[in-house]
Amino acid sequence: MIAEDFTTLFGFPPEISGFTPGRVNLIGEHIDYNGGRVLPTALDLGVTVALSPRANGRIRIGSDKFDGIAERGMSDAAADHWSDYITGALQIAFAEGFGPNGADIAVTTNLPFGAGISSSAAVTVCVLRAARDLSNANQSDTDLAVLARRVENEYIGMPCGIMDQMAVAIARPGQALSLNTETLSFDLIDLPKTHHMAVIHSGVFRQLNEGRYKIRKEECDQVKTAAQREDICQMSDAELHRLKSLPKDIFRRARHCVTEHRRTVAAADALRENRMAELGALMNASHISMRDDFAMSVPKVDALVADAQAFGAVGARLTGGGFGGCIVACVDHTKLDAWRDKLLAAHPDAFWVA
């Protein structure tokens, strides 16, 4: 299908194509840039890219989500345009010596935008992987994840951590990635056959580069300065207590980082050993911390999470960067259909994602 789309756009077939999944984070929010452990899983949904190289410094991009062909240059700065992530990925691939000096690219995706399930990371990694494979370069998938984060941090100006890029580069559907964000070491954990990790969009859309994510990152930087360490998620109870003189909101951000890291470590063990009730309780506690300590939820999401739990989910929480987007819920597979129908009936703006 993507090859046909590419040929329709440009009049000739692509030289390479590939797929990269989106991700949903089961637990461990806003701690990947604070030295914490995270637990995302790959989705069946994702991004498909077809590419043919050019050598004239020009980029042409077509997407099934937008009309026309975007024309960009290999020296263009970010322009707050949907093609920025692809342009930035090509620029970094070329600068690193394995990408072409321009390309024709077709992109299709079944990931909703503004949902907190990593459409930006998926398309960035997908383009980098296509460039690597086309040139037979030796960058690992972890290397590509690091470069994809640079696209977000340096080109887009989004101060994200490494979780999204590692999740979509490494994990496959049916696997959770227990990732140490300091060392990038990881374990892959099979998801249980008895439960589904259901993803429901709240109907509240947002863009992470709109500012609130950046504010939370800056607040965590204040904690790092006060604590005199970068890995604030690893602080002891005594170290956290010494920060109580900070402004209340800043202390709450610190408390979330410490407790969320500990919840995520425990959740990985619970998932590995199929202790689903424990996993669900940790997910529920995570949402409370995101709502009260990190102040990253909104009322519509809180109501959706509360009903997801009340209607029978083992656990449910906001997932992603926050301020809208999706929730993730752990639901017994025998109850999934009835649970979903009841939840969506109670929340008409919400919709099923995966």
CB atoms within 10 A of CB 151: 29
Name the token pair of 228.
């005199």
pLDDT digits (tens, 9 = 90+) for 104-120: 999 999 987 666 667 89
Task: Supply the pLDDT for residue 214.
Answer: 87
Beta strands in 184-342 (DSSP E): 186-190, 195-201, 315-318, 326-332
Query: 53 and 141 share a domain?
Result: yes
Of 100, 68, 67, 70, nearest to 83 by C-alpha is 70
In a shared domain, residues 162 and 301: no
pLDDT of residue 211: 79
Q: From residue 308, how far is each of 291, 293, 340 by CA, in Å? A: 16, 21, 9
With a cut of 70, list the residues of the chain below it in pLDDT: 113-117, 207-210
CA dist 229 and 306 (Å) reads 36
Check whether residue 50 and residue 135 sit in a common domain.
yes
- The pLDDT assigned to 111 comes to 85
Residue-level pLDDT at 238:
98
Cβ-proximal residues to 237 (8 Å cutoff; 6+ apart), any chain = none
Co-location of 141 and 62 in the same domain? yes
State yes or no: is 164 an active-site residue: yes
Catalytic residue among 84, 164, 293, 307: 164
CA–CA separation, 132 and 310 (whole Å):
47
* Residue 104: C-alpha distances to residues 9, 61, 192, 218 (Å): 9, 6, 41, 37
CATH number at residue 341: 3.30.70.890
pLDDT digits (tens, 9 = 90+) for 249-271: 999 999 999 999 999 999 999 99
Residue 213 has a pLDDT of 82
For the chain, what is the domain count?
2
Residue 61, domain extent:
2-24+43-172
Cβ burial, residue 207 (10 Å; 0-12/13-18/19+): middle
pLDDT for residue 134: 97
